Amino acid sequence: MTKGFNTRAVHAGQTPDPTTGAVIPPLYQTTTFAQDGIGKLRNGYEYGRGTNPTRDALQAQLAGVEGGEFAFSFSSGLAAEDALIRALLVPGDHIVMGNDVYGGTYRLLNRILSVWGITNAAVDMSDAEALAAAVAAGGPDGGTKMLWVETPSNPMMKITDIAALAEVAHAAGALLVVDNTFASPYLQNPLALGADVVVHSTTKYIGGHSDASGGAVILNDAQAAEKIGFIQFAVGAVSAPMEAWLTTRGLKTLGVRMDRHCSNAQTIAEWLLERPEVERVLYPGLPSHPGHELAARQMRGFGGMISVQFKGGEDAARKVAESTKLFTLAESLGGIESLMNYPSEMTHASVKGTELEVPVNLIRLSVGIEDIADLLSDLEQALDAL
């Protein structure tokens, strides 16, 4: 029987060190491995870019928590995305992505991969007609080979039906990739819902402590996995041992952290709804959210991310973003500490003036695991000052 999530998070890939019995798999801070004769490797370890036991332990743990056969870890989420796309697509292939994907994903596709002939179109994934038309149209040089979605999306918190999207993708002979960074594997497992590939920025919830950058690709198809493994080795955007080790440590407590992120965020979202300064609260845990029922079906909780729009427009949003004391104004998300972000000028500055532009009256909260009363009073003083 498959073990429960927290058991897998703590134990997958985490067997005690065979030589010393160290309960925690050691940090193998090394770039190379001694050979017992030319080509006589110990357990296959040869050179750090290719393989490292600390990275292997993380990869096994990542596969375990997403319920996938194969996992590869990279130096960042974007490095993982780049490796995945260049491993599985060729020039002429076309990607249809959600029209509110992470700004860095949009930039990677439009400024880097498009130059190499991999084209893309952005559509509202929840609009079935627009999606069908975009998938059928393909690109100027070839067909649609990949659908790319984030759910919940960043920062508009849109929820997309992964199982339905997998059907659309497969009917068109395309792969469905889900960026599962916002939900984390504790709340949502896209492979079980029919997706072909899951990507993560492990920099966020999986690492969880804002101290290690990383990315991951997880999938079940052996042939595709071989290609991704080859790019990981041949290009080398791998996790460094220390980063892999920290990420492994973070991932073990993902479940307990997410429970607190979810309950704190639910309370804050409900509190914000009652405030007269607030125009709209975007949080899938609110029954008023258009994706609430779908999220309740395909996720096991609603997550720790909230976006808020203010009646006072850009001025009000900027003022709140700059006047909290516990919520730190910073990019990134998913750490134990609460963060505040003004996407229009920060995380999503790269999509300004494009179809992915974020409203200027919106702030995004990454709700941490601090005491809820302290978080609420911090927000209260910031909103009272408007």
Ligand X SMILES: *Cc1c(COP(=O)(O)O)cnc(C)c1O
Rounded CA separation 344/342 (Å): 6
Smallest separation (angstroms) from ligand X to the CB of 321: 18
The DSSP symbol for 190 reads G
Q: How does DSSP classify residue 196?
A: S
The answer to whether 277 and 380 have CB atoms below 8 angstroms apart is no
Contact 124, 176 (CB under 8 A): no
A 10 A CB-CB count for 344 gives 22
What is the DSSP code (8-state) at residue 4?
P
Distance of closest approach, residue 182 Cβ to ligand X, in angstroms: 6
> Which positions touch ligand X (CB under 6 A)?
76-78, 102, 104-105, 150, 154, 179, 181-182, 201, 203-204, 213, 215
Preceding amide of 284 cis, omega within 30:
no
Q: Is 179 exposed, middle or buried (0-12, 13-18, 19+ CB in 10 A)?
A: buried
State how far the Cα of 329 lies from the Cα of 325, in Å rounded to an integer: 9
93 included as an active-site residue: no
Catalytic residue among 49, 86, 275, 300: 49
Q: Select which of 102, 186, 205, 283 is catalytic.
A: 102
Distance CA 386, CA 378 (A): 13
Between 174 and 206, whose beta carbon lies closer to ligand X? 206
- List the beta strands (DSSP E) in 291-357: 305-310, 328-329, 339-341
- Helix (H) / strand (E) element for 175: namely strand 175-179
325 is catalytic: no
Give the nearest residue (CB) to ligand X: 77
- Minimum distance between the CB of residue 206 and ligand X, rounded to whole angstroms? 10
Question: Exposed (0-12), middle (13-18) or buried (19+): which is 82, by Cβ within 10 Å?
Answer: buried
158 among known catalytic residues: no
145 is catalytic: no
Q: In the complex, what is the shortest distance from the CB of residue 319 to ligand X, in angstroms, rounded to a whole number? A: 25
- Torsions phi, psi of 26, nearest 5? -65, 160
Q: Provide the minimum distance between the beta carbon of 40 and ligand X in the complex, in angstroms, as a whole number.
A: 37
DSSP assignment of 289-300, as one string?
A: STTHHHHHHH-S
Question: C-beta of 80: minimal distance to ligand X in Å?
Answer: 8
Which of 204, 252, 257, 318 is labelled catalytic? 204
Just list the catalytic residues.
Answer: 49, 102, 179, 204
